[in-house]
Amino acid sequence: MTDYVLKIFFSIRKGWCFTVNLIFPQRCAGCDVSGSSLCGGCLRKLGEVFIQGEICVDGFTVFFAAEHSELLKKVLHRFKYISDDALAEVLGMLLVMRMKKIIVSAPYTLTPIPLHHARERERGFNQSELLAGVISRALGGRVVHVLERRRETRVQATLSRKERIYNVRGAFGMRKGFVGKVPETVFVLDDVITTGSTFVECARVLRAAGVRRVYGIMLAHGL
């Protein structure tokens, strides 16, 4: 019975997606050509900007998979505001290809930087969570929501470096179930790192809670 209901659900969903695609055809996030959310040409170009980078922010190591590029900026902008599984898959797999050795070097927990629930409700999804899902499906790690956002913050992109630090200070905490019971190694995942103040605030909370090794894993640096 359940299988039958699920089959009906998926065929309705498939039909609905097909209809939506007919009325609003998907356009490439890079060059706007219609047909898919990322065309073959843009996918190739995007692959070229992916590297294996590493920076140190306030004593914490942060790995990132891409440097600034106009194409990636456009694609990420789309990915951030529209929940697009195909884009999440492409970006997540490009990250996995560059970061595989680093991520699987030890047993680890992957934790996406949480959005405030009001912002997540308004947007309907958390882009870092989508990426974390792709990484864990490809590499088999655990995605655990260790952190919670305790208050809403202003959008970091509009603020100076100093303002960004104050904006996120005290904004994160450990989720209830993880107080006094923490994983040994945590990779904090986000789509973009610029000054690193949001990541550092999360890393400090994790370190204070007893996590021995805290790293950042970011899709892109300095967009």
Binding positions for Zn ion, rule: CB under 5 A: 28, 30-31, 39, 42
Compute the distance between CA of residue 105 and CA of residue 118 in angstroms, rounded to an integer. 36
Nearer of residues 75 and 189 to Zn ion, judged by Cβ:
75
Question: Is beta strand 60-66 parallel, antiparallel or unpaired with respect to 50-57?
Answer: antiparallel
Question: Helix count (H) and strand count (E) of the chain?
Answer: 8, 8
Q: Output the smallest distance, CB 93 to Zn ion, in A.
A: 17
Nearer of residues 42 and 211 to Zn ion, judged by Cβ:
42
- Is residue 167 within 8 A of residue 151, CB to CB? The reply is no
Q: Output the smallest distance, CB 115 to Zn ion, in A.
A: 28
Compute the distance between CA of residue 121 and CA of residue 52 in angstroms, rounded to an integer. 33
Q: Output the smallest distance, CB 42 to Zn ion, in A.
A: 3
List of E strands, the chain: 50-57, 60-66, 109-112, 142-143, 147-149, 172-174, 185-193, 213-221
Nearer of residues 71 and 102 to Zn ion, judged by Cβ:
71
Nearer of residues 41 and 177 to Zn ion, judged by Cβ:
41
Nearer of residues 12 and 31 to Zn ion, judged by Cβ:
31
Q: Measured between alpha carbons, how far is residue 143 from residues 75, 110, 146, 220 in Å?
A: 24, 5, 9, 20
Q: Output the smallest distance, CB 26 to Zn ion, in A.
A: 11
Q: Output the smallest distance, CB 155 to Zn ion, in A.
A: 27
